[in-house]
């Protein structure tokens, strides 16, 4: 399983919190790349509910990680 920023960003609009099956269903319905579906299928399913993409990929950058001043635009 590997995540890139581009692949993980496909799940930003997922219906959080969500289970593994719900995320796979969302991915299929929204047409995410096959790599995203494969990564989700590799997650060990212990019936847990994921609150956000950070629960799946802890290195996912948040808005605070970017030095971007929204007030300037």
Q: Give residue-wise pLDDT tens across range 8-24.
A: 889 989 999 999 999 99
Distance CA 46, CA 52 (A): 16
CA atoms within a 13 Å half-sphere pointing along the CA-CB vector of 18: 19
Q: Give residue-wise pLDDT tens across range 35-53.
A: 999 999 999 878 889 999 9
Contact 35, 43 (CB under 8 A): no
How far the first Cα of the chain sits from its last, in Å, is 37
Is the confidence at residue 4, as pLDDT, over 70?
yes
Contact 70, 33 (CB under 8 A): no
């Amino acid at each position: 399983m590997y995540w890139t920023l581009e692949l993980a960003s496909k799940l930003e609009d997922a219906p959080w919190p969500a289970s593994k099956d719900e995320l796979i269903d969302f991915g299929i319905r929204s047409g995410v790349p096959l790599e995203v579906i494969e990564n989700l299928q590799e997650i060990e399913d212990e019936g847990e509910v994921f609150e956000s993409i950070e629960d799946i990929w802890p290195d996912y950058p948040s808005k605070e990680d970017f030095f971007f001043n929204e007030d300037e635009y």
